[in-house]
Structure 1
Amino acid sequence: MFRPEEMVKIEVITLNRYKDALLTYLHEAGAVEVREVEVKFTQKDSPNEYYRKAASYSIIMSRIVEFLKGYRKTRGGGIKEFIFPKEKPKRKYEYEGIEKLIKDVENFLGKTEPEIKIVENKISSIGTEIERINELIEILKLLSPLDIDVSYLRHRGLVEVTVGVVERQKVTDLINTLKKETGNRVVIVEKDLDDRALIVVANLARDHDKVNAILAKFSVERLEIPEGEGTPAELIRDYTAKLEEKRKELTKAKEEASKLADKYYEEVLFYKELVDNERDKATILPMLARTNMTFALKGWVPRPEAQKIVEGIRKITKEKAYINIKDPEIHEVDDIPIKLKNPGWARPFEMLTEMYGVPKYNEIDPTPIIAFTYSFFFGFMLTDFLYGLIVGIVAALLVMGHKKFNDGTYKFAYTLLWSAFFTMIMGILFGSYFGNALDIVLQYFSGNPEAHVWRIVDPLREPLPVLLAALGIGLAHLFLGYTTGFYLRWKNGDKKGAVLEQLPWMLIILSIALFATQRADLKLPAEGIFGVGIVLFAIGEIINNGGLAALMIISDFFGFVGTWLSYARLMALALATGGIAMVINVLAGMVWPIKFLYIGPIVGIIIFIGGQLFSTAINSLGAFVHSLRLHYVEFFGTFYSGDGKPFSPFRAKREISKLELKADGGV
């Protein structure tokens, strides 16, 4: 706790014949972050034909999955499925090497791909035909005003016929130009179509080039005349009948696709996951060094898992491997990957730390601190017992449903559950139950207009004590940050930074706390501590900024004041929550007395329930965002960089498959 997991460096050299089995073992173990081996006199490894095939088959099966996915019968879903998702069953695969896996994939694709492709092509072909028929029907609708046999609109011998659509304002100029350029050897029929016009041009074949140039000049959109004989209305009926036939064919083809989806979808996903992981394994091959007989890899592994990994490597290679485990050196601090290590109660809060950035190897992990302070700040801002109860119920359900997955939803819900606990506590202390709703109920039943639930203070009536509490909490939070920063700098050898950049603020905060007691006997010590803090602060600014020291002293001091005052948002959001809840209660109370058809009570209940649920959601969002801000901006700025490199192990991604290695290279 408070420190990242200890990491050690691992170096392995072994024979090439163990490469696939060893990489598979490490991939499934997911405990080693592989790094590039930098050796001058060896070659870099590269994917062989089987890994290249794995990448190719992954693409093919991704396309098949996308096709079949659209025709699967819907199963589950909804809120219940979201809150209590079901675990996907995992199918076992006995891994005997990438060659055997690729052969199994080829056999599977050889059986299924042609069958799926036939249906896929059929659906595509029918869809294209339906689209073409729809386009022809639209053209026939445009031709309807002509009411002639459409066969007359096709080219005939010495005479060409062109049908098109043009903007109405261009029609007169178009007709005049056609007549002029062809010497009146043209027949033109024009029909209005709202802001456009349908135009039919009949001209001699020898005037083809002239007419085409003029039609292009006036941006005439040519229409493809549908096949068949009869008026547009008659052909529309014929094409509509064809369209219905094609739609029936499409429905039948989709039913075939649905059967194929039921038959093959899960199996395709299974093999896709297998080859996806093989493709992922290939990505580290260029990081390895190799000779004709051997290869080498290196990486980082958490110390608690190092022994298990070493034993696994020895078993895979039958003891024919050089394995070296080394502790990190001082110059490698910035390069060591960071894996957070916290007790179970704080582990979900790692998500909040990782959103900002993980610590460096020589820094403190602030997750255990955040676990308390984030939840407390959230509760202080939301500060309503019933709001906390609603959030807590939702969070508890999500925690129960997602705990087995340990996914992002579980972690977020877990943080909300603790936040809801503090919200209910603060709600009790401030006497807030949907704002002043419980006070209204007590006043109604007791007849006493002054009746109210127990509370330490009412933030809306007495905001000053709440403001002072918020600022006091802010001082304590900042003091913790600066103290932590002082410890880290001193421990890591930056004693000057500890004394001149962290200690001054610690002393200034301590003096403010002493002044706040308003005790006469503490006034002199407070002044002395404040003076020492200011002097150290000024010295630090002079050393760090030289000629700009005077300006930076003013800027940084008031920057600290601004940071401290940021904690006033604890009070501001607490007041906002209570104020919004009270407004909702007032609105519900205003309509409640309307007795006609019970409209007042019905509308009042809707306003009350809907308004309070909305207020819960919007104020929870505000508490979430501003609690993060107080940590990311104000608190972390005192000691935390978040510039570490997250531990990224070489790990298989398995949702529906489970690899079983043969005994020769078993796990």
Structure 2
Amino acid sequence: MFRPEEMVKLEVITLNRYKDELLTYLHEAGAVEIRETEVRIAQRDAPNEYYRKAASYSITISRLTEFLKAYKRTSGGGIKEFFFPRERPKRTYRYEGIEKLIKDVETFLSKAEPEIKAVESRISSIQTEIERIREAIATLEMLSSLDIEVSYLRHSGLVEVTVGSVERPRLKGLLEELKKATEGRVAVVTRDFKDRVLMVIATLRRDHDRVNSILAKHSFERIEVPEGKGKPSELLREYERKLDGKFKELEDAKRDAEGLAEKYYEEVRFYQELMENERDKASVLPMLARTNMTFALTGWLPRPEVPRVLEGIKRITGGKAYINVREPTREEIEDIPIKLKNPKWARPFEMLTEMYGVPRYDEVDPTPIIAFTYSFFFGFMLTDFMYGLIVGIVAALLVKGHRKFNDGTYKFAYTLLWSSVFTILMGILFGSYFGNAGDIVLQYITGNPNAHFWRIADSLRDPMFVLTLALAIGLAHLFTGYTIGFVVKWKNGDKKGALFDQLSWMLIIIAIVLFATKTSTLLAEAIFGVGIILFAIGEVVNNGGLAALLIISDFFGFIGTWLSYARLMALALATSGIAMVINVLTGMVWSIKFLYIGPLVGIIIFIGGQLFSTAINALGAFVHSLRLQYVEFFGTFYSGDGKPFTPFRAKREVSKLELKADGGV
């Protein structure tokens, strides 16, 4: 706790014939972050033909998966599925090498791909035909105002017929130019169509070029006349019958696709995951070094995983491997990947730390601290027993339903669950139950207009008490951060930074507390003076000639940071204020007694308003509590410049490998 997981450097050299099995074992173990091996006399490794095939088949199967997924019948869903998602069963594959896996995939594709592609092609062809018929219908609807045989509109012998439309203002100029260019050898039929004019133009074939240039000049849009015989209105009915027939064909094809999805989807998804993991394995090959007989890999490994990983390597290679596990050097500190290590109760809060950035290897992991401070600040800002109860019930259901997945939803719900506990406690301390609704109910039951729940203070009537409390909490939070920073810098050998950048502010904060409590003015002045002197010296040492300006700027920057904690009070007041407004509106409507409309509408306003208030104020508490951690608290000691530990790990949702290293036969 408070420190990242201890990491060691792993170096392995072994024979090439163990490469595939060893990489597969490490991929499934998910414990080593493989790094690029320094190459001097050896050469870089590269994917062989089987890994290249895996990448190609991954793309092919992904396309099949997307097609089948669109036609897969789904079940479940809804609120219950959201809170309690079902765990997908995993199918086991006995891994005997990538060559065998590729052969199995090829066997499967030879059976499934032709069937799937045939139905896919059939659906695509029908959909294309439907679009063509629809376009033809749209054209015939446009031409239906013409009582002309359709075959005449496609005439292109001695006389050439052109059908199209033109913008209404261009019509007059177009007709004049056509008559002039053809010396009157033109026949035109026009019909109004929306904001354009439908035109049928008959000209001699020899005037083709001149007519085309004039039509282009006036932005004439040609219309392709559909195939068929009869007048447009007659042909329209024929095309509508064709469209109905194609829709029936499409439904039949979709039913076939649904049958294939039922038959093949899970299997296709299974092989897709296998291929994607092989492609992922291939991505680390260029990081390895190899000779004709051997290969070498290096990486970072958490110390607790060392025995398990070494045992697996020795089992796979039969002991024919050089293995070196060493401690990181001082020069490698910035390069060491960071895996957070916290007790079980604080582990979900690592998500909040990782959102900002993981610590360096020589820094403190703030997760256990923000597990408390984030939850407490959230509760202080929301400050309502009933709001906390609502958030807690929702969070508890999500935690229970998603615990087995340990996913982002579980971690977020877990943080909300603890935050709801603090919200309930703060609601009790400030006597807030849907704002002042609890007091209103209590007064109604007891008949005492002054009755109210116990509280240490009313946030709306005594805002200065809440503000003072918020600023005191802010000082404690900042002091904790500067103290951690002092310890870390001193331990890492940066004694100058510890004294000038951290201790100076620690002394100033202590002095502020002594001034505020009036404990000892003389002692407070002495401590404040020492703190200011250390601060000023630090500014001169760090900034040289700019120190005169930065002393004032940085000091008032600290004051601004401290005053940021006033948002604790502001959001607490906002929560109480919004809840009170909802209660007032409910009371106003409740007094309407006609046909019980008042009470019914009042209940709707109260429930809807309080749920909305819970959601909007919980969102505000979430955001501002994070801000107090990331900006104010982390600004005192934390960089977050570490590199997250990204192990070489398989992604398994529907598949599971059986390996010899795990006891497979």
State the TM bucket, normalised to the shorter chain.
over 0.9
- Offset at 1:447? 2.3
Task: Confirm or deny that 1:616 pairs with 2:614.
Answer: yes
Q: Is the 8 A contact 1:140 1:233 kept in 2?
A: yes
Letter in 2 for 1:175: L
Q: 1:148-174: per-residue Cα shift (whole Å, max 9, x none)?
A: 211111124200000001111111111
Q: Which residue of 1 aligns with 2:582?
A: 584
Q: Which residue of 2 aligns with 1:527?
A: 525
Q: Which residue of 2 aligns with 1:279?
A: 279
SS of 2:301 mapped into structure 1: strand
Letter in 2 for 1:364: V
- Offset at 1:518? 1.9
Counterpart CA distance in 2 for 1:618 and 1:665 is: 53
Structure 1 portions without partners, runs of 5+:
none
Task: Confirm or deny that 1:654 pairs with 2:664.
Answer: no
Where does 1:444-455 land on structure 2 (aligned, <5 Å)?
A: 444-455=444-455
- Compared with structure 1, are the counterparts of its residues 52 and 665 closer, same or farther at alpha carbon in structure 2 (3 Å cutoff)? farther
Letter in 1 for 2:652: R
Q: Which residue of 2 aligns with 1:24?
A: 24
Q: Is the 8 A contact 2:316 2:661 kept in 1?
A: no
Where does 1:65-144 land on structure 2 (aligned, <5 Å)?
A: 65-144=65-144
Letter in 1 for 2:386: L
Counterpart CA distance in 1 for 2:118 and 2:474 is: 68
Q: Is the 8 A contact 2:11 2:325 kept in 1?
A: yes
Task: Confirm or deny that 1:322 pairs with 2:322.
Answer: yes
Q: 1:221-250: per-residue Cα shift (whole Å, max 9, x none)?
A: 111111111111111110000000000000
Where does 1:220-369 land on structure 2 (aligned, <5 Å)?
A: 220-369=220-369
Q: Which residue of 1 aligns with 2:637?
A: 639
Task: Confirm or deny that 1:38 pairs with 2:38.
Answer: yes
Task: Confirm or deny that 1:428 pairs with 2:428.
Answer: yes
Letter in 2 for 1:598: Y
Counterpart CA distance in 2 for 1:64 and 1:165 is: 43
Q: Which residue of 1 aligns with 2:595?
A: 597
- Offset at 1:47? 0.4
Counterpart CA distance in 1 for 2:236 and 2:194 is: 21
Q: 1:319-374: per-residue Cα shift (whole Å, max 9, x none)?
A: 00000000001110000000000000000000000000000000000000000000
Counterpart CA distance in 2 for 1:308 and 1:662 is: 14
- Figure out how many residues of one structure are paired with residues of the other and give that number: 665
Q: Which residue of 2 aligns with 1:199?
A: 199
SS of 1:203 mapped into structure 2: strand
Counterpart CA distance in 1 for 2:196 and 2:660 is: 74
Q: Which residue of 2 aligns with 1:565?
A: 563
- Offset at 1:79? 1.2
Q: Which residue of 2 aligns with 1:474?
A: 474
Counterpart CA distance in 1 for 2:568 and 2:157 is: 88
Letter in 1 for 2:75: R
Counterpart CA distance in 2 for 1:194 and 1:410 is: 57
- Compared with structure 1, are the counterparts of its residues 211 and 271 closer, same or farther at alpha carbon in structure 2 (3 Å cutoff)? same
Counterpart CA distance in 1 for 2:201 and 2:389 is: 77
Q: Is the 8 A contact 1:316 1:665 kept in 2?
A: no
Structure 2 portions without partners, runs of 5+:
none
Letter in 2 for 1:557: F
Q: 2:572 aligns with which of 561, 574, 588?
A: 574
Letter in 2 for 1:608: F
Q: Which residue of 1 aligns with 2:383?
A: 383
SS of 1:145 mapped into structure 2: coil
Q: Is the 8 A contact 1:316 1:664 kept in 2?
A: no
Letter in 1 for 2:451: A
- Offset at 1:546? 1.5
Letter in 1 for 2:537: I
Task: Confirm or deny that 1:161 pairs with 2:158.
Answer: no
Letter in 2 for 1:518: K
List structure 1 runs of 4+ shifted beyond 6 angstroms.
none
Q: Is the 8 A contact 2:25 2:661 kept in 1?
A: no
Q: 1:538 aligns with which of 530, 536, 539?
A: 536
Letter in 1 for 2:422: F
Counterpart CA distance in 1 for 2:594 and 2:143 is: 60
Q: Is the 8 A contact 2:315 2:661 kept in 1?
A: no
Letter in 2 for 1:161: V
Q: 1:440-494: per-residue Cα shift (whole Å, max 9, x none)?
A: 1112222222111111100000011110000000000000000000000000000
Q: Which residue of 1 aligns with 2:460?
A: 460
Counterpart CA distance in 1 for 2:663 and 2:329 is: 33
- Compared with structure 1, are the counterparts of its residues 534 and 444 closer, same or farther at alpha carbon in structure 2 (3 Å cutoff)? same
Q: Is the 8 A contact 1:429 1:457 kept in 2?
A: yes
Q: 1:290-339: per-residue Cα shift (whole Å, max 9, x none)?
A: 00000000000000001111111010001000000000011100000000
- Offset at 1:666? 5.1
SS of 1:486 mapped into structure 2: helix
Letter in 2 for 1:650: F
Q: Which residue of 2 aligns with 1:551?
A: 549
Q: Is the 8 A contact 2:380 2:426 kept in 1?
A: yes
Q: Is the 8 A contact 1:338 1:645 kept in 2?
A: yes
Counterpart CA distance in 2 for 1:68 and 1:304 is: 43
Letter in 2 for 1:543: V
Q: Is the 8 A contact 2:485 2:636 kept in 1?
A: yes
Q: Is the 8 A contact 1:21 1:665 kept in 2?
A: no
Letter in 2 for 1:251: E
Most deviating of 458-467 and 544-553: 544-553
Counterpart CA distance in 1 for 2:577 and 2:626 is: 23
Counterpart CA distance in 2 for 1:400 and 1:394 is: 10
Counterpart CA distance in 2 for 1:517 and 1:437 is: 36
Counterpart CA distance in 1 for 2:340 and 2:446 is: 55
Q: 1:628 aligns with which of 626, 629, 634?
A: 626
- Offset at 1:103? 0.2
Counterpart CA distance in 2 for 1:150 and 1:595 is: 72
- Offset at 1:286? 0.1
Letter in 2 for 1:624: F
| TM-score normalized by the length of structure 1 | 0.99
Q: Is the 8 A contact 1:2 1:364 kept in 2?
A: yes
Identity %: 75
Q: 1:21-49: per-residue Cα shift (whole Å, max 9, x none)?
A: 00000000000000000121111000000
Counterpart CA distance in 1 for 2:277 and 2:156 is: 64
Counterpart CA distance in 1 for 2:289 and 2:71 is: 46
Letter in 2 for 1:150: V
Q: Which residue of 2 aligns with 1:401?
A: 401
Counterpart CA distance in 1 for 2:147 and 2:137 is: 15
